Amino acid sequence: METSAFDPPEGSLRRSVGRGAVVTAMAQGVRVATQIVSVIVLSRLLSPQDFGVVAMCAPVLAFIALFQDFGLTQATIQKTGIRHEEVNYLFWINTAVSAILACVLAAAAPLVATFYGEPRVTGLVAAFGLQIMAYGLGAQHLALLTRRMEFTRLAVIDVASAVSGLVVSIAWTFIDRSYWALFAGTLTGAVLPTLCYWASSRWRPGVPRKVEGISQLINFGAGITGFNFANFFARNLDNVLIGKYWGEAQLGLYDRAYKLLLFPLSQITNPLSKVMVPALSRLKDEPDRYRSAYLRVMPLILLVALPGVAFATAMSDTLIPFVLGEQWRESANIFLALGFAGLLQPLNNPAGWLFVSQGRSGDFMRWGIITAVTSVLAFAIGLPYGALGVAVVYAVSEYLRTPFLWLYVGKAGPLRASHVLRAATPFVLGAHLALALVWLAKPMLPAQPVIALAGAAVLSYVVTIIVALVFGAGREALREALRLIPARGFSPAPSEAK
């Protein structure tokens, strides 16, 4: 197979990115809707104990998943001029690692069951090894489809796997109404995409052979895995510490506030990463086009996300009881504190696109370690003051890290901290001012929660847009947003289109 067969057709970047952003967002919407339906329907068909047994397996699976891909799909996506021999070697590494991890799961299953005092966990943990194997067998085929930017095909596969997993889980309850119905659905959601990736990618592995220069790709993947490992602790240790020292009530309040804030943000950045990483990887040898592409997308993310975060943060004492119920009112102050971190995360999270697309996985891993260490330090400082203390100090740490992140990103590659500062300032500043004004306007808002929340949201977006109009970069981004409204999707400017 020729090298060109692994790359998107010449001249397709402009069309592929626009279409990819749209179809990926639509697929994500269907997936989220499917998850909501799954929770509602399966909660009626299965008992809380069934969900509890599966939940006991979740931490072990999450930890194992850190090593499953070993960063090798990203290595395939970002490398210039990758060859069949290299993809073939990476395929067999993915397969071998998945087989080893499946064996580790089987060996660890009795220990997990003993820890929980629940013998049913043994078989379930071991069975999840099949899911690990399925992902490993399809990893490189998925990477090739992503590299070729076949986003429509990937979106169809994503939707089909989500819907099929739900259907199989529901159907299984008529055979065996137990936690195995949940396992059957997740296994379907792993096996079906792998079969589709193999059918769609038109690439088949051969006999594994040592390839000269393959260590560069493996080292790249190791850097990605190192970041994921460090990030795992940064994202989970707060829950462990709060649960250990303050108990389940404080942890529950913190967990709900954290997820209510960050889940919507992840629905914006995660789908876009599937499109932007391969697109930026194709542009990494053309600095002007690379910089232009990133600086056109990033302000649009901020325009969509930050006013919403600002409004939700300022209105937390109304929003939390309205959405979650009066019994969760104590979460409002925690949500308020985490909201300030949320005002920076839509800016900072896409930095990963730059590290990966530029082949800087070592820098990515080192930044992950810095984030983990500073986050853990923040958790330790805030812990004596309960969940609210953890949230407050974590938000402060996000502000302290942000300038260093962008200076670190800008030490290499075509994007400098000054570029990001110019593009982001109109929206970051606007969102902070919007938060302050919504907070001050709260006493004047109607008593009805729905009307008050809607009015606050409108005010937040209006204030952010007005502030953005003061800046030249803000006006450029708003003009770009208006050009997208006719629904032709994202497309590079004429100067950067092929």
In tens, the pLDDT along 43-80 reads: 778 777 777 777 778 778 888 888 888 888 888 888 87
Please, how many CA atoms are within 13 Å of residue 132, restricted to the half-sphere of its CB? 30
Domain boundaries, the chain: 3-212, 225-484
Which tens digits make up the pLDDT trace of 395-444?
999 999 999 999 999 999 899 999 999 999 999 999 999 999 999 999 99
**Dist CA 412 CA 415 (whole Å):** 8
Length of the chain: 498
pLDDT at 375: 93
* pLDDT, average across residues 92-105: 91
Spatial CA neighbour of 146 closest among 94, 70, 77: 77
pLDDT at 263: 65
Which residues, in sequence order, are CB contacts of 441 under 8 Å at separation 6+?
456, 459
- Here the tokens at position 308 are 């919403």
Distances (CA, A) of 52 to 107, 116, 170, 228: 21, 11, 18, 26
**Dist CA 124 CA 105 (whole Å):** 10
Return the C-alpha torsion angle 29, 31, 35, 37, nearest 10.
Answer: 70
**Dist CA 461 CA 430 (whole Å):** 9
Burial class (CB within 10 angstroms; exposed 0-12, middle 13-18, buried 19+) of 322: middle
Which tens digits make up the pLDDT trace of 302-315?
998 999 999 999 99
**Dist CA 308 CA 318 (whole Å):** 15
* pLDDT, average across residues 122-126: 89
In the chain the first and final C-alpha atoms are separated, in Å, by 25
Write down the mean pLDDT value for the chain. Answer: 85
4 pLDDT band, cuts 50/70/90, is low
Which tens digits make up the pLDDT trace of 272-308?
888 888 888 888 888 998 999 899 889 988 998 999 9
- Here the tokens at position 255 are 């967990």
Question: Which residue in the block uniquely carries the two structure tokens 């067999």?
Answer: 92
Report which of residues 248 and 312 the model is more confident about: 312
- Here the tokens at position 419 are 């570029």
- Is pLDDT of 493 > 70? no
Report which of residues 430 and 488 the model is more confident about: 430
Spatial CA neighbour of 389 closest among 467, 341, 333: 333
- Is pLDDT of 318 > 70? yes
Which tens digits make up the pLDDT trace of 146-190?
888 888 888 899 889 989 999 999 999 898 888 898 899 989 999
The one-letter amino acid at 190: A
Give the other-Cβ count within 10 Å of 418's Cβ: 10
Which tens digits make up the pLDDT trace of 11-43?
556 666 667 777 777 787 788 788 778 777 877
Q: Where are the alpha helices (DSSP H) in 180-213?
A: 180-201
- Here the tokens at position 227 are 């970041």
Most confident of 39-53, 318-332, 452-466, 478-492: 452-466
Spatial CA neighbour of 41 closest among 160, 128, 179, 169: 169
User: pTM to 2 decimals?
Assistant: 0.80
Report which of residues 83 and 339 the model is more confident about: 339
The sign of the CA dihedral 398, 404, 407, 409 is negative
**Dist CA 491 CA 498 (whole Å):** 11
- Is pLDDT of 96 > 60? yes
pLDDT at 498: 35
pLDDT at 17: 67
Triad 99, 102, 108: Cα angle to 5°: 145
The sign of the CA dihedral 482, 33, 64, 151 is negative
497 pLDDT band, cuts 50/70/90, is very low
**Dist CA 468 CA 274 (whole Å):** 28
pLDDT at 16: 64
Which residues, in sequence order, are CB contacts of 176 under 8 Å at separation 6+?
none
pLDDT at 470: 95
